[in-house]
Amino acid sequence: MYVFLLLLTLFVLAACDSPLPTPIPTRALSAPTLAPSPEILPLIPEFDPAQSGGLGQSDPTAAALPSGAELPPLPVGTRDLASAFQTVQVTIGSGILEGDLYTPSTDLRVPGVILLAAERAAWLDFPLRLRDAGFTVLSITYNTSDLSAFQSLIQTLIQIGTVDPTRIAVFAADSASRAALDGCGADALCDAAALLNPQDITTDAVLRFNPRPLLIAAPASDTAAAEALRPAVSGDAFFLYVPGAFSGGQALALGTPGAQMIEWLLGRWTG
């Protein structure tokens, strides 16, 4: 009995010697908290960005393009809402082309028109008249004969959200006319072509373009070059002879040739 009590006493004493568990430490702030940030009042736009007509640098169309596809025209700067067009850049294999994009105020897909000239200002107000007639217009300063550059332009145009890729026309003036007809002859997306004061056009280029609609405008005082092409044309052709001498887009400021060209183009798709 004595031994049992001794063992019990030792057991109780041993239990009393066990250290208590360490409490879980807590984090305490050692410095005063920071003052809240001042309230930020951002400037609220006075217009709906969706109505600005600008494509934007983060156009989801560009992000969704398959490998090897062309980018839509890239806007240059911020578009003035009072302006009739957006200055753009078009990326081609050999560099960049400068241009202006005229888009109609509609969400529908409409025919697209490319205007090519050594200096796009030569078209005067013709791009505006085309836009008001219901076209999306891409006017380009064009000084190259590179076929791949022309194909890039066509692919760029059809990436624009307001362009119907099944209705594409190309207008070209002076030295750009040969590159335009050669390009259209090699690209089935080009449905119609109009050449103003065409230079160095060959019958082979016309044959490759046949039988698509072709308009040729030339000074009434110098019709020999245009008439030399007539026998090679097998499709819908319109030869427009303008009184007086002119250079390229200047023809559109003389009389009513601009209106005739727009009427001709509308007739190709409306019957």
pLDDT by residue (tens digit) across 185-198?
Answer: 999 999 999 999 88
Average pLDDT over residues 68-83: 65
Provide the domain count of the chain: 1
Residues 6+ away with beta carbon under 8 Å from 253: 124
Contact 99, 144 (CB under 8 A): no
**Residue 44 included in any domain:** no
* 25 falls within a domain: no
* 34 part of a folded domain: no
Contact of 264 with 256, CB cutoff 8 Å: no
229 belongs to a structural domain: yes
Instruction: Please determine, for residue 207, whether its predicted confidence score (pLDDT) is greater than 80.
Output: yes
List, for residues 124-152, the tens digit of each pLDDT value: 899 999 999 999 999 999 998 889 899 99
CA-CA distance, 141 to 49, in Å (whole number)? 28
Residue 60 maps to a domain: no
Question: For residue 265, what is the enclosing H or E element?
Answer: helix 257-270
The predicted pLDDT at position 257 comes to: 87
What is the pLDDT, as a whole number, of residue 47?
60
- Asked if residue 12 belongs to a domain, the reply is no
Whose tokens are 């305490």? That residue is: 28
- Tell me the residue range of the domain where 145 lies: 66-270
Instruction: Please list, in sequence order, all residues whose beta carbon lies within 8 angstroms of the beta carbon of residue 205, skipping any fewer than 6 positions away.
Output: 178, 181, 182, 185
Question: If pLDDT is split at 50, 70 and 90, which confidence band does 82 have?
Answer: low
Q: What is the pLDDT of residues 11-67, one digit of tens each?
A: 655 555 555 666 666 666 666 666 766 766 666 666 665 555 554 555 565 555 555
**Which of 70-74, 206-210, 243-247, 267-271 has maximum average pLDDT?**
206-210
pLDDT at residue 89, as a whole number: 87
| Mean pLDDT confidence for 195-213 | 92
In a domain, 107, yes or no: yes
pLDDT for 176? 92
pLDDT surpasses 60 at 262: yes
CATH code, 178: 3.40.50.1820
| Within-domain flag for 8 | no
Predicted pLDDT at 133: 93
